[in-house]
Amino acid sequence: MARPIAHLAALALGALAPALPSAAERVDRFQGTARGRDGAVLYLESHEVRRSGDRLHSATTTYRDPAGRVLAVLETDFSRDPFAPSYRFQDLRSAAVEVVEVSAEGVTLGAGDRIRALALPAVPSRRLVAGQGLDRYVRDRLDELEAGSELRVVFAIPSRQDFYDFRVRALPGEATGRTVRVRVEIDSWVLRLFASSLDVEYDRASRRLLRYRGLSNLTDARGDNPVVEITYAYPEEGTTRPEEPHASL
């Protein structure tokens, strides 16, 4: 069954396992806690991001249930393009696999036994993004978003075997506040009637992702993608900020 469009913009997050870091590389680690509408913890995310200086190499995201059982793994290769990386997502409960492979020749989208090769998008004003590259692109353009710009991106969605146009914009907030809230939604107003948006919140100074609200990339027991709110904690902080009544990506 094809997954909903909106949650795929959150993957965020090729089938290449990340190489072990060399002495010149470092590994950044942080955690995410996903809660359902009732506030109960649904699953936990463990993120490992490998980089040399400011250059991203790869990332591994491991999803676990509250008891610690591994549910899914996302492997992302940023070496060619930090905004349109190749990646492999495997749900270990069902053995379902989704793959995006990006090269100079084009993009290959895989979902189970369905594979489709597409040419690279030909519209220069719309940046190709894939998986967790969307988060990286938003961070890179956060100043423009705060200044009122709307970004248009082409998002590669393996389960739909196609590209979709999305728009990204900052939501109103305090100019001197700690955070910047951003909304990601499908560009077509017709499709927006059927596809929910997702909201994210970034730390203005560090540009770290603090909070996400939208459809999960993990299915529940009924096979649906539930709406989740994910808060992120970084080692030196220990914990995230206290829960707030509003939610953002």
List, for residues 120-170, the tens digit of each pLDDT value: 988 878 999 999 999 999 999 999 999 999 999 999 999 999 999 999 999
- The percentage of residues in the chain with a pLDDT greater than 70, rounded to a whole number, is 82
Q: Round to whole Å and give the CA distance between 111 and 98.
A: 4
Among 37, 75, 72, which residue's Cα sits nearest to residue 59? 75
In a domain, 238, yes or no: no
Q: Sorting pLDDT into bands at 50, 70 and 90, what band is 195?
A: low
pLDDT digits (tens, 9 = 90+) for 85-134: 999 999 999 999 999 999 999 999 999 999 999 999 888 789 999 999 99
Query: pLDDT grade, residue 237 (50/70/90)?
Result: low
In a domain, 53, yes or no: yes
Please tell me what DSSP assigns to residue 209. Answer: E
Indicate whether 241 belongs to any domain. Answer: no
**φ, ψ dihedrals at 10, nearest 5°:** -95, -5
What is the domain extent for residue 172?
A: 5-233
Q: How far is 160 from 22, CA to CA, in rounded Å?
A: 37
E-strand stretches of the chain = 26-35, 41-52, 55-64, 70-77, 86-91, 96-102, 107-111, 114-118, 127-129, 151-157, 162-170, 179-186, 198-203, 209-215, 227-233
pLDDT for position 81: 95
Task: Give a yes or no: residue 243 inside a domain.
Answer: no
Q: How many domains does the chain contain in total?
A: 1
The CA distances from residue 70 to 29, 46, 50, 58, 61, in Å, are 17, 10, 21, 20, 11
Please, which pLDDT band fits residue 24 given cuts at 50, 70 and 90? confident
SS3 3: coil
**Cβ proximity of 84 and 103 under 8 Å:** no
| Model confidence pLDDT, tens digit, residues 26-59 | 999 999 999 999 999 999 999 999 998 889 999 9
